[in-house]
Amino acid sequence: GIASTTAFTQPQSFTSTRRSSFLASTTATSDTEIEEAKSLLCRAAETKLENPDRVLDALESLEKNCKRKHKDNPAEFSKDILDNISGEWRLIFTTGTKERQKKSGGRVNYFPLKAIQTFDATVEPKVIENGIFAWDVPLIRFSGDFDFDERKRKLEFDFDLIEIFGLIKIKLGRKEVAKIGASTGLGSANNEKLADNGRRAFFDWISADENIATARGGGGGLALWKRIDE
């Protein structure tokens, strides 16, 4: 009886050890791949000289591994994003929405205009702004509020104010703002559809740290931002 019990428990212990070892190895691999992807994306944000296809590969690798990390500890991972998201971010690279990718033949590249997104998660309601600038003058800027769902890493937002040339401010409904946003390239046609159905536009957030932020928009496009030093 003792011999058979020993024979039975050893494989269990061995299997448990192998499982722990596998999980530790997977976590270490994810961490390494995250750092490698972030390193390339930081260089791309600084210089805009990295090959666009490599930037896209790094974004997709980062998204895959960050999803894994979020699954392991959703609360801690999402808190880290929310703690880092406040500030001004310049859009560096975007794949565009899936619709836009089809029109361009799948080509992706660095964003040619000075587009700046601002988040403030330290106030309630949380504030979001999105604008296109010429030097420091906002040619057009949208303002609104956002919520962050920590379980899903989802940032949902509405714009209800448009500012033109930093002088004229116009209050509009979210459907009108979504339509203007899609026409200027600051939003997607998908945001219009969401507004028509009474839903908010959103980003599935991937990462945010002291240098860069990454997310996938509701229209399916991936984006890379660089933090603007204050």
Angle between helices 189-196 and 174-184 (to 10 degrees): 170
In this structure, of 31-45, 89-103, 128-142, the range with the lowest mean pLDDT score is 89-103
pLDDT of residue 134: 93
Look at residue 7 in the predicted model and tell me its pLDDT.
Answer: 43
pLDDT tier at 218, thresholds 50, 70, 90:
confident
Q: How many CB atoms are closer than 10 A to CB 54?
A: 13
Cβ–Cβ under 8 Å, residues 50 and 112: no
Tokens at residue 226, please? 């660089």
Query: What's the pTM value of the predicted model, to 2 decimals?
Result: 0.78
Q: How confident is the model at residue 157 (pLDDT cuts 50, 70, 90)?
A: very high
**pLDDT value of position 205:** 95
68 HSE (CA, 13 A, CB side): 17
Helix H or strand E encompassing 137? strand 137-149
d(CA 221, CA 229) in angstroms, rounded, equals 26
Percent of the chain with pLDDT over 70: 72
Lowest mean pLDDT among 76-85, 95-104, 202-211: 95-104
Backbone angles phi, psi at 65, to 5 degrees: -75, -30
Q: What is the 3-state secondary structure (H, E, C) of 159-201?
A: EEEEEECCCEEEECCHHHHHHHHHHHCCCCHHHHHHHHCCCCE
Q: Which of 76-80, 149-153, 168-172, 214-218 bottoms out in mean pLDDT, i.e. has the lowest? A: 168-172
Give the C-alpha distances (Å, rounded to integers) separating 101 from 22, 95, 97, 223: 38, 7, 6, 13
> Residue 197 has what pLDDT?
57
Buried b (16+ CB within 10 A) or exposed e, 133-161: beeeebebbbbbbbebeeeebbbbbbbee
> Would you place residue 175 in the very low, low, confident or very high pLDDT band (cuts 50, 70, 90)?
low
Cα 216 from Cα 108, distance rounded (Å): 14
**pLDDT band (50, 70, 90) for residue 22:** very low
Question: Is the omega angle on the peptide bond into residue 112 within 30 degrees of 0, that is, cis?
Answer: no
